[in-house]
A and B are shown apart, each in its own frame.
Chain A
Amino acid sequence: MSDTLLFSPEHDELRAQVRGFVEKELAPYAEEWERQGEFPKSIFSRVGELGLFGMKFPEEVGGSGPDFLADAVITEELVGCHSGGVSASLGAHKDLACLYLYNFGTSEQHQRWLRPAIEGRSVGGLAVTEPDAGSDVASLKCSAKRDGDDWIINGSKLFISNGAWADFVVVAAKTDQVVEGASGARRGDKEKKVVEGASGARRGDKEKKAAGHGGLTLFVVEKGMPGFEA
C-alpha cells in the first residue's frame, strides 16, 4: 500500500524502479563526478531510455503522461544520487528546457526539439539570467533582431545549468528594445503568454497598456549555430 494518499500503487512501483536505477547507476559514482566537476553525458540517454523525462508530457511528443505525480516521484528519487549537481542538471533539462518547449512550442518545434530531448538524445538548458539581470527579467539586454525570415541574437547569458554541454538552449531575448513600439515580434499565442508572465509586474501602467510585456520572446538556439558559444 502506498504511504501517502497522493500516490497510487503504480507510482510506488515507479518509485522502486527509479530508486533501483539511482542506487545502482548514479549514487556509486557521485563522489567521482563531484570531484571531476561533471558527470557523463550518457546519463541523459540512459534516463531518457528509461522514460524518466517523459512523465509529464503526452504521447504525441514522446512522453508517457501527463502524470505530474509520476514526475514528482522521479524528482524525489533522483535526489538519492547524493549529487545535487546531477539532479539539478537532469532537472534543468526536464523541468526547464523541455517544459518551456512543450508549453510554448509549436508542434513542429515539439517534434524537432522536444521529442529527442525526452528520449534523452539531446540535452537542453534554459537561458534567462544575464550578468546584469535575473529575476528582473524586463531588464534583459540580450537582443533578437528580425533579419528577413531569421533572427539575429546578440548578448550573453550567465549561470546556465547544462550551458556548457547543451545541444539546444531555450533563450529569452528582447525582440523590441523600445517597449512602447512592441510591434509583434512574437512567435504565436503560446509564447505571448510566457512573455507576459515573464515581464509584466514591474512595468508602469502606461507601458503595460502600450506593450503588455517587455518585448521579450523565447527562442530555441542550437549548439553549432553560428555565433553560439558556451
Chain B
Amino acid sequence: MSHWPFSEEHDELRDSIRAFVEAELAPHAEEWEARGSFPDRVFSRLGELGFLGLSYPEEYGGGGGDYLCNIVLAEEMTGSGTGGLTMAVAVQTDMAVPPLFKFGTEEQKKRYLVPALAGEKIFCLGISEPDAGSDVASIATTAKKVDGGWLVNGRKIFITNGRRANVMTLVAKTDRDAGHQGISLFVVDTDTAGYKVERTLDKVGMHSSDTAEISFTDMFLPEDALLGKEGEGFYNISWELQGERLIGAAGAIAGAHRMFDAARGYALQRHTFGKPIAKHQAIRYMLADMITEIEAAQQLVYEAAWKVNAGEYPVREISMAKLLTGEVAWKTADRCMQIFGGYGYAMEFPIQRAWRDARLIRIGGGTDEVMREVIGRIEGL
C-alpha cells in the first residue's frame, strides 16, 4: 500500500527516479563535490527523462502530473548524496521556473518554459541582494522604464546556478516610491549586455552547487521581459517562495531520513565496551528520538503538500514545515555525526557532507527567524 498522500503511480515514479539517481548521479557525488560543480548535462538528462516537468501540462513538454510528483522528485534526489545537486535541480523545478508558468504570457512560456522543462535552458532566481533577502521590499536593484523597455541596475547575491544559468527570473524595483507595489518580475537571458557574473561564492556546504554574485549595469530589457504585471512582483515572488520553502522542506527531511539510516547502520556495527553502540542506551535513545522527530516533521511536509495539491495556499503549514524540517535536519545531522564519532568529523564518511549541507536549510529560502515571523503573524501575534 502506498504511504499517504501518495498513490501507486507516485510509487512507480519514485522507483524510476531512484534507479536513475543510483545509476547516474550517486556514483559521481564525490567527484562533483570536489570539483564544486556537476555537468550541465545532468539538467538535459533530467529533462530527457521528463523529471524537470513532472507537474507541468503536456502542451509545454511536462508530464501532466500533480504537485506530489515534485515532492517525490525532491525526496529521491537526496539519494544523489550531494545536497548541492539536489538544490540546483529544485531551483529549476520549483523556484525559478514556476513563476514563468504561473505569470508568463503564452509567448514567454513557449520561449522559456518549454526549454526549461526539457533541461535545455538552466534557470536561476534573482531575489537576494547584498542588503536584502526575505525582506524583499528592501531590494535595491532597479528597473527603470525607458523607451522600448527597462534599464536594470543592481546586484544579486547567493544565486544558485548563478554561474551556469541561461535565464534568470529577476526581482527588481520598478517604482522606488510605491513600496510593495513598486516591485516587478522579469525574465532575463543571461547573455544580455550588462549582465555580469561577478564571482563564485565559496560555501560551508552544498559544494556541487555553483553560487554566484551577479551585477547588472545599464542592462536593457525589452518590454516583453516583464513577467506578470508591473507592480505585482512582490506578491508574485511571495507566491513563489511558498513552493521554494516546501520543496526545501521535503528535501531536508528526506535527507535527514538518509542520515538516520546511515547512523543506525553504523551504530549496529560499531562496538565499544563489548557491544554495538546501538545497544548502549544513550545511542539507542538518540536514534529513537531522531526517527520520531523525522517522521513527525515528515507528516507536516505531507500535510502542506497535500493541501497544495488540493489547490490551497497553505502559507502557515508551509512555514511550519520549513521551520521544523530545517531544525530537525540540523539536529539529526549533528547527532548522526556524534554517532560516527571521530570518523564522522574526519572527511572520510559522507556524514560530514550531509552535516555541512543540512546547515543551509535553516538559512536558505527564508531563515528560521523569518518562518517564525510568518507563523507568528498568521497566529495573530
Contact = CB atoms under 8 A, between A and B. Distances in A.
A104 to B, nearest CB: 24
Interface stretch (B77-85, B271-279, B296-304): B271-279
B130 interface: no
A158 B272 CA distance: 16
A136 B272 contact: yes
A134 B273 CA distance: 10
B341 A136 contact: no
A139 B342 contact: no
Contact of B342 (A136, A138, A159): A159
Contacts of B342: 129, 134, 158-159
A36 B108 CA distance: 49
B274 A159 contact: no
Contacts of B273: 136, 138-139, 202
Q: From DSSP, what is the main secondary structure of chain B's interface residues?
A: mixed
B272 A139 contact: yes
A107 interface: no
Interface in A51-108: none
A133 B346 contact: no
A132 B271 contact: yes
A135 interface: yes
A135 B346 contact: no
A139 B275 CA distance: 11
Interface residues of B, number: 7
A69 B278 CA distance: 41
Interface string B322-346: 0000000000000000000110001
A159 B347 CA distance: 12
Interface string A188-227: 0000000000000010000000000000000000000000
Interface string A120-144: 0000000001001111101100000
Interface in A156-174: 158-159
Interface string A19-43: 0000000000000000000000000
Interface string A146-159: 00000000000011
A90 B263 CA distance: 33
A34 to B, nearest CB: 12
B325 to A, nearest CB: 30
Contacts of B341: 134
A132 B271 CA distance: 8
B157 to A, nearest CB: 21
A158 B342 CA distance: 9
Contacts of B346: 159
Contacts of A136: 272-273
Contacts of A133: 272
Contacts of B272: 133-136, 139
Most chain-A Cβ atoms within 10 A of its Cβ — which of B271, B273, B274, B341? B273
Given A132-B271, A159-B342, A202-B273, 15 more contacts: A129-B342, A133-B272, A134-B272, A134-B341, A134-B342, A135-B272, A136-B272, A136-B273, A138-B273, A139-B271, A139-B272, A139-B273, A158-B342, A159-B346, A202-B274
Interface of B: 271-274, 341-342, 346
18 contacts: A129-B342, A132-B271, A133-B272, A134-B272, A134-B341, A134-B342, A135-B272, A136-B272, A136-B273, A138-B273, A139-B271, A139-B272, A139-B273, A158-B342, A159-B342, A159-B346, A202-B273, A202-B274
